[in-house]
Amino acid sequence: MSVFDRAKIDAMEKRFRAAFINSLSGFKSANLIGTADKEGHPNLAIVSSVIHLGSDPPLFGLVMRPPVVPRHTYENMRSTGIFTVSHVHADITEQAHQTSARYPRELDEFQAVGFTPEWRDGFKAPFPKEARIVLGLKLEREVPIEENGTRFMIGSLQWVDVPDDALAEDGYVDIGHAGTVAISGLDAYHRTSAMSRYSYAKVGKPIQKLDPIKGFSTR
Amino acid sequence: MSVFDRAKIDAMEKRFRAAFINSLSGFKSANLIGTADKEGHPNLAIVSSVIHLGSDPPLFGLVMRPPVVPRHTYENMRSTGIFTVSHVHADITEQAHQTSARYPRELDEFQAVGFTPEWRDGFKAPFPKEARIVLGLKLEREVPIEENGTRFMIGSLQWVDVPDDALAEDGYVDIGHAGTVAISGLDAYHRTSAMSRYSYAKVGKPIQKLDPIKGFSTR
């Protein structure tokens, strides 16, 4: 076991520190953010910071890096007020990672990495046809994170596509069954295998294991 | 494939919707938040919302539910200004989940679920001795999320414990190797298996696979 105090962390070489610190929050979501500019030119970018903010209303948050250089996804989100979030699954991981290259504005990441842009009627943000779980969101608010210039973007869910065989009877979506992967650090992609679902924890009552799909107790 | 629009989502039964929406952000981090009150009484609570906010300075964020009922973790974080974040690993998952039961203030979750509280010299927030990756954080700021009353808590890293055999030469921490698990939905815990690390994406250059541990190219 090694202990790293703040002085040791601050003294780390820049890229070493980025890889190190990025690993420490635990596993991260792997999502592709689909946007378009006012003229409808599509854009796609991988992010690992999408989180659940609330279920009623259905809200999600994600972190955008500081807009010190042109950031097409950020500009498109602000300009159209909408975006899509598509889970990265195991069959599209390499293409998804490639969207993080700094393509010039006129180059469309869908074409560059080999995804097919798909559009939902009346919703002006595209998503990859190759994705299995896709969320359509409306940008509700942008919170500046003064500490480092990043932006916390809050979106409300407008619609979602879910494969029928991944939806459990109690509402749980078995995203691992749909192939969704997890990220750790800056660049490490992981498949998952379900250990267990656990019953709602109550004081003085032992936890029960739930069947992953049905949401029923199995012991 | 089923499409759920907002009207369908709003019409879902409350617990069904909570399970459904909680599944949609992708895989989530599994962490135990350790705090203490002014008198040093320890508290431990599982959260799935810890995210990376930045590496320089090293910043993390997490979501706390609305403080409409007494929330011991939230109150302790505000009162002492510090907290610990410990990765949940596969051997402590059931105990970790049990910390989400609503224990009364005078009951200490460490004792209730069977963890040993450990204290770092001069740092007044405990962590489970059974954890392998532990972060010590200082609360920097609390951002109210007006849309639903939750709080986005921003913390800066003060120190971290990492197992030596999980640290790669380039700074990446192989958290899967350390047993860290991922959460999906409200209650589903997952082991992970590394697919690959990918090289930094560049326009017009194919991605290379990197060895998980060393950070070296393997093809």
Check pLDDT > 70 for residue B213: no
B19, B185 contact by CB (below 8 A): yes
Look-up: residue for tokens 């699954």? A89
For residue B11, the chain A residues in CB contact (below 8 A) are none
Residue linked to tokens 């895989």: B27
Nearest-CA distance A195 → chain B (Å): 5
Each residue's pLDDT tens digit, A178-200 = 999 999 999 999 999 999 999 99
Dist CA B147 CA A138 (whole Å) = 13
Beta bridge partners of B55: B58
A142 and A152 Cβ atoms separated by less than 8 Å = yes
Judging contacts by C-beta atoms under 8 Å, the chain B residues touching residue A100 are: 200-201
The C-alpha torsion from B49 through B51 and B53 to B54, rounded to 10°, is 160
Distance CA B94, CA A209 (A): 9
Q: Helix (H, G, I), strand (E, B), or coil: what is residue A75?
A: helix
Main-chain dihedrals φ then ψ at residue A149, nearest 5 degrees: 80, 0
**Cα(A117)–Cα(A130) distance, integer angstroms:** 9
User: Given pLDDT bands bounded at 50, 70 and 90, which one contains residue A93?
Assistant: very high
The mean pLDDT of B92-107, rounded to a whole number, is: 93
3-state SS assignment for residue B169: coil
Could you say which DSSP state residue A217 is in? B
pLDDT of residue B93: 97
Q: What is the pLDDT of residue B214?
A: 53
The residues with which B205 forms a beta bridge, in sequence order, are B202
Q: Do B24 and A157 touch (CB under 8 A)?
A: yes
A24, B189: Cβ pair inside 8 Å? Answer: no
pLDDT of residue A67: 80
Q: What is the pLDDT of residues B7-23, one digit of tens each?
A: 999 999 999 999 999 99
Q: For chains A and B, count residue pairs whose Cβ atoms are closer than 8 Å.
A: 390
The shortest C-alpha distance from B26 to chain A (Å) reads 5
Separation in Å, CA B85 to CA A179, B51, B133: 28, 11, 8
pLDDT in tens, A123-133: 999 999 999 99
Closest to A23 (Cα-Cα) out of B113, B117, B87, B73: B87
Mean pLDDT, chain A, as a whole number?
Answer: 94
Contact between residue B43 and residue B37 where contact means Cβ atoms under 8 Å apart? yes
- How far does A40 lie from chain B, in Å, by closest CA? 22
Listed by number, the residues of chain A in 188-207 with a beta carbon closer than 8 Å to a beta carbon of chain B are 188-203, 205, 207
- pTM confidence score: 0.95
pLDDT band per the 50, 70, 90 thresholds, residue A68:
confident
**Per-residue confidence (pLDDT) for residue B210, from 0 to 100:** 85
CA distance, residue A39 to nearest chain B CA (Å): 23
Burial class (CB in 10 A: 0-12, 13-18, 19+), B139: middle
Contact B193 A188 (CB under 8 A): no
